[in-house]
Amino acid sequence: MTRAMRLLALCGLSLLACASAWPQASMKTLSVKEIMTTVIAPATNLLWGASNVQTDAQWQELEQAAQQVIEAGTEIADGAGSHDAVAVNADWQASADEMIAAARSVLAAIQKRDEEALFNAGNDQLYPPCESCHAQYLPK
């Protein structure tokens, strides 16, 4: 499968990959789980899967994904919908803030068109906050 075909397949599976901008209002009505599965997971899969990025369109797709992680992180950090209760916890906010900071590093690498920096920020910075928050808050 060519990369373009894979991106098209992704677009088919998730509105996200094709939506030009996630409307701010709609994320408010999503649960944390929905934000994870419909925004954060597809966006980070795209970022973690990036290799041999060539066209400007591919870089733009990655840029959008990084921005979606930032937006989603901001959303859960201030407490999305019914999740205000957990969002007051310091460790919840720390993980969310770490994820936002990581996504900003990823975004900076993308804007420099630096695939190695993207790879490193993705692995070293973007992954750990998922783990630390899930260790504490994923329902057992």
Contact footprint for ligand HEC (CB under 6 A): 32-33, 36-37, 40-41, 44, 76, 92, 95-96, 99, 126, 129-130, 133-134, 137-139
The nearer residue to ligand HEC, 57 or 135, going by C-beta atoms, is: 135
Residue whose CB is less far from ligand HEC, 8 or 86:
86
Look at the alpha carbons of 75, 81, 84, 86 in this order and tell me if their dihedral is positive or negative: negative
Closest separation between CB of residue 102 and ligand HEC, Å? 8
Q: At its nearest, how many Å lie between ligand HEC and the CB of residue 2? A: 26
Residue 32 beta carbon to ligand HEC: minimum distance, rounded to whole angstroms:
5
> Closer CB to ligand HEC, residue 46 or residue 96?
96
Nearest Cα neighbor of 98 from 119, 77, 81, 75 is 77
Query: What are the DSSP calls for 78-140, one per residue?
Result: T--GGGHHHHTSHHHHHHHHHHHHHHHHHHHHHHTT-HHHHHHIIIIIIHHHHHHHHHHHS--
